[in-house]
Chains A and B, each alone.
Chain A
Amino acid sequence: MVDAFRRDRVGIASFCVVGFFVVLALAAPLITALYGKNPTEHYGQNGAGLLSPEGLPLLPNGGISAEHWFGIEPGLGRDVLAQLVYGVRTSLLIAGTSAAVVAVIGVVVGVAVGYLSGFVDRAFTFVCNVLLAFPALLFLITLGPVVQTRFVGPGESEPAWMQFLVLVLVFSVFGWVPLAMVLRTVVRSLREREFVEAARALGASRRHIVFRELLPNVWAPVLVHLTLAVPAMVTTEAALSFLGVGVNEPVPDWGRMISRGADVFYDDPTYLVFPGVSLLLFVLAFNLLGDAVRDALDPHTVR
């Protein structure tokens, strides 16, 4: 499989891009330290000559300069590059954690339901139908404020981890369904395969069958699902920020940058383009990686 992947040049390239973003996320503090800017300082407001009285960057191209490589944010005048780098962190942290939770729930439920069938299966189908028909985005919009007022005292700001947690929770609630459904189908067909019967004929226990025979066969669809789910979560998270219910200030966030960028697009398109194109690249790379992983794992692929 690794060999198959290695032969895939686009796959390698996308893997590198994804790796690059992961490194950015991990090394964000280091990068900004080297770069000499931090994502929360209001450079434009605290230094003269950067923002107009209306809050737009004075320099052309969104205030790109030797000081601020990607320009500064309209309004507060924060450094765009530093914000972008920390924004990857936000996106990846939420999407990565959600993906992990989704993987665990999806695998456990999907494999269990696929193997057990019967009543469990009917219950599962019902839950899936409910979750599929539920307007998830609306749910997401509403849940943030609910959690905030119910669990955060008025005198405290909602801690960043709690916002993250809410997002992770909601992504997980809706995210495990497709994975579990896929795995259920996979396991159902695996269950009918002779090697499972062979294991039974060898006297293998149920546990042995589930863990040693079935599980090694489902990690391929899980991996494919997750590499495609991560960009989906990143964009949904950005969409929520766009609708104004994502991660709050001052945690840097791409969705919020895009949303703000869309507002100032007419005067300062640069500010939309950096986060917009970054997100596009990020999602594109992840989608490509997902395809590459799928191809590499799928023995039937003829390329």
Chain B
Amino acid sequence: MPAITLRTAAVPALATAAALLLCSCSAGAGTDAGQGRNSTAAKSGRRLTTTLGTAKDSQGPAPEVPGARRGGTVTVANQADFPHLDPQKIYAGERYSTSLLWGRQLTQYQITDGRPRLVGDLATDTGTSSDGGRTWTYHLKDGIAWEDGKPVTAQQVKYGIERTFAPGFEIGPVYWPQWLTGSEDRTEAVKKYGGPKKDGDLKAIETPDDKTVVFHFPQPQSDVPYMAAQSSSSPVREDKDTGTGYDVKPFATGPYRIVEHKQNQSLSLERNPHWKPETDSIRHAYPDRFEFTFGKPALNTAQEVFNGQGTGATTLTTKDELPPELISTVERDPAKRQLAVSGSRGAYTSDLYIRNDWVTDPEVRKAIHYLFPREQARQVLGGRYAGDLATTLSSPAVVGWKKYDLYPVAPTGDIAKAKEHLARAKSKVTKLTYAYPTESPQDDQVAQVLVDAFGKAGIELVVKGLQPAAFYDMVFGADNPYDLFLSTNSVDWPTPSTLLPLSYESHLDAVSNPIHYGNPRVDRELARIAKIGDAQQKAEELISLEETVMKDVPVVPFLYKSVTQFRGKDIGGAAIHPIYGVPALADVYVKNS
């Protein structure tokens, strides 16, 4: 290279680096961020009592949100797109909540002052049972229509539920197939009826006229009104059923319809002219449009929202949570603190799952219970923002929840006690494996926290980070090779009936019972309780059985999950949906600006 080289020019480059170094001073989190100051972190696991509304409650329109205005465009920014929009494939709180914008079900939760009440949505009420809970009847409201103006019929509701039997719909809830066929599990159910394309008409559902749906169950069912609120209970028009395409762009019955859905990029909603507020006691439709954007890192979205940059002022998130990195910034500034939308994340709990058939010795599981560094792990996940430390299996958000703490332990863990229990174990445990999805660096850090704690108790914890897809594949697969993993789960609706019977019954497959828990006494109890038709009694029995299960330490309760999302300053009405655990979009409006 001829002439003067570039290197004599290193000096400016170095100077820049040095300047960068100098201006990087920052205030520590400790300057005014103490433990006891105001925090936006919500108390998680708020106790709930979900009531069943009456037919009157089910009549629209929904009670106005005070101060709400019509008009404007709301931007909903999340890093990830919805994996599914097909109503029969939707099976997660945030998707339930979002799909309320365009989808309607037989029943739905009406929220007033933060209290949920189950009311009729398409149906006039939450359903009437007869025959000891074996027959449930729903009548459809008048004036309910699709986005093209055609009325919603009972046959379309039936068709929607029939779809849940079809192949490809395994990812949705299994209750309709199981209940309607009286089967142990879905695999058995679909042998009896394989969906509308394969086996045509499903006899268990009758539609005597366009307005009436009658369910016939071989066994008594008490939770049908709740199941009727699930997205699976949405009507589907056979002529609009585009198969997998329906998963990208479903046909609307709710207040909005989907204009365009570019996957992982955007989803645009506009008003559905054929939706009538007077038929709907749940949803509001204040904004003219909803624009969902996907792909932007949560941190960027948060910055824009808190600073009101770009469309930030009219943006809110339903999936992206307040990044832990921004917590102290937000807490320092009251104006920003207001923009955090927090609450209990429905009935979600996070637990350390232990494969009971491998870590068979309860003493070892107890040792894990004692050494588990709850506080440290939670600190990595954002401290109290992650939720409150749990002592029970079910969330306080479940109807009838009772507090218990079978093996009290300090939040930071009790290594000495753990060692005691390990000493009592029949065979010495020196090595355990822990799998986790590598979704965020926090996952890696939690793993390191665990390695540290297990190490102190003399157990080598082998940690294995897996791609998220591979992780879920693996730990819920029949041949899951890992001893431990953290899992966040929820009951499907706020009664205890979907918790123990669907996860702690020894015959269940790995997907439902990934810890392979099996206790003959619990099995017998569950069989007995299954026959109870009275919802109230059933709930009570299940709650008391929970302590019996937890005596075995099948899992280590970790957190009652909290959620903190955020909204722009011009977004009104954003509050966490008490059931679905995300901001309820159906109540959101754009403030006067």
Are A and B a genuine interacting pair, yes or no? yes
Q: Which residues of B contact A179 (CB under 8 A)?
A: none
Q: Mark A31-61, 1 if CB is under 8 A from B, else 0.
A: 0000000001010011000011111111111
Q: Choose one: A14, A260, A266, A303; the contact of B326 (CB below 8 Å).
A: A266
Are A248 and B444 within 8 A (Cβ)? yes
Q: Which residues of B contact A267 (CB under 8 A)?
A: 26, 29, 325-329
Q: Which residues of A contact B49 (CB under 8 A)?
A: none
Q: Please judge, given known A-B contacts A10-B7, A266-B326, A267-B325, whether A301 and B26 are in contact too, CB under 8 Å.
A: no
Question: Complex formed: what's the CA distance from A280 to B10 in Å?
Answer: 12
Question: Complex formed: what's the CA distance from A158 to B464 in Å?
Answer: 8
Question: Complex formed: what's the CA distance from A42 to B385 in Å?
Answer: 21
Question: Complex formed: what's the CA distance from A8 to B324 in Å?
Answer: 48
Are A301 and B383 within 8 A (Cβ)? no
Are B448 and A266 within 8 A (Cβ)? no
> Of B2, B13, B26, which is in contact with the most chain A CB atoms at under 10 Å from its CB?
B26
List which A244-277 residues lie within 8 A (CB) of chain B: 244, 248-250, 256, 259-260, 263-270, 272-273, 276-277
How near does chain B come to A65, taking the closest CB pair, in angstroms?
Answer: 10
Question: Complex formed: what's the CA distance from A145 to B474 in Å?
Answer: 14
Q: Please judge, given known A-B contacts A56-B328, A155-B462, A249-B448, whether A14 and B10 are in contact too, CB under 8 Å.
A: yes
Q: Which residues of B contact A178 (CB under 8 A)?
A: none
Are B7 and A58 within 8 A (Cβ)? no
Question: Complex formed: what's the CA distance from A284 to B326 in Å?
Answer: 32
Are B323 and A263 within 8 A (Cβ)? yes
Is A105 on the interface with B (CB-CB < 8 A)?
Answer: no
How near does chain A come to B4, taking the closest CB pair, in angstroms?
Answer: 7
Among the stretches A18-26, A116-124, A209-217, A287-295, the one at the interface with B is A287-295
Is A194 on the interface with B (CB-CB < 8 A)?
Answer: no
Is A175 on the interface with B (CB-CB < 8 A)?
Answer: no
Are B462 and A156 within 8 A (Cβ)? yes
Q: Choose one: B8, B27, B380, B431; the contact of A55 (CB below 8 Å).
A: B380
Is B303 on the interface with A (CB-CB < 8 A)?
Answer: yes
Is B182 on the interface with A (CB-CB < 8 A)?
Answer: no
Is A205 on the interface with B (CB-CB < 8 A)?
Answer: no
Across the interface, name the chain A residue whose C-beta is closest to B377: A45
List which A153-211 residues lie within 8 A (CB) of chain B: 154-158
Is A232 on the interface with B (CB-CB < 8 A)?
Answer: no
Are A75 and B26 within 8 A (Cβ)? no
Are A157 and B463 within 8 A (Cβ)? yes
Are A57 and B299 within 8 A (Cβ)? no
Question: Complex formed: what's the CA distance from A92 to B25 in Å?
Answer: 29
How near does chain B come to A227, taking the closest CB pair, in angstroms?
Answer: 13
Q: Please judge, given known A-B contacts A58-B29, A75-B445, whether A11 and B7 are in contact too, CB under 8 Å.
A: yes
Across the interface, name the chain B residue whose C-beta is closest to A145: B467
Q: Choose one: A56, A250, A272; the contact of B448 (CB below 8 Å).
A: A250
How near does chain B come to A297, taking the closest CB pair, in angstroms?
Answer: 11
Are B462 and A280 within 8 A (Cβ)? no
> Of B373, B376, B379, which is in contact with the most chain A CB atoms at under 10 Å from its CB?
B379
Question: Complex formed: what's the CA distance from A55 to B467 in Å?
Answer: 25
Across the interface, name the chain A residue whose C-beta is closest to B35: A53
Question: Complex formed: what's the CA distance from A245 to B327 in Å?
Answer: 27
Q: Which residues of B contact A295 (CB under 8 A)?
A: 1, 5, 7
**B: number of interface residues (CB 8 Å):** 64
Are A249 and B7 within 8 A (Cβ)? no
Across the interface, name the chain B residue whose C-beta is closest to A10: B7
Q: Please judge, given known A-B contacts A157-B462, A264-B325, whether A45 and B449 are in contact too, CB under 8 Å.
A: yes
Q: Which residues of B contact A40 (CB under 8 A)?
A: 448
Across the interface, name the chain A residue whose C-beta is closest to B433: A155
Q: Mark B375-388, 1 if CB is under 8 A from A, else 0.
A: 01001101111000
List which B461-479 residues lie within 8 A (CB) of chain A: 462-467, 470, 474
How near does chain B come to A260, taking the closest CB pair, in angstroms?
Answer: 5
Q: Mark B431-457, 1 if CB is under 8 A from A, else 0.
A: 101010010011011011101100000
Is B31 on the interface with A (CB-CB < 8 A)?
Answer: yes
Question: Complex formed: what's the CA distance from A281 to B20 in Å?
Answer: 12
Q: Which residues of B contact A154 (CB under 8 A)?
A: 433, 435, 464, 474, 481-482
Q: Which residues of A contact B8 (CB under 8 A)?
A: 10
Q: Please judge, given known A-B contacts A60-B25, A291-B5, whether A263 and B325 are in contact too, CB under 8 Å.
A: yes
Are A155 and B384 within 8 A (Cβ)? no
Are A58 and B1 within 8 A (Cβ)? no
Across the interface, name the chain A residue whose C-beta is closest to B460: A157
Q: Mark B306-336, 1 if CB is under 8 A from A, else 0.
A: 0000000000000000011111110000000
Other 18 A-B pairs with CB < 8 A, given A10-B7, A58-B30, A263-B441: A14-B7, A42-B449, A51-B379, A53-B379, A53-B384, A54-B328, A76-B449, A154-B433, A249-B445, A263-B299, A266-B303, A266-B326, A267-B26, A267-B29, A280-B17, A284-B14, A295-B5, A303-B3
10 closest Cβ pairs, A-B complex:
A58-B30, A53-B383, A56-B29, A154-B481, A60-B28, A273-B24, A52-B29, A54-B383, A10-B7, A264-B325
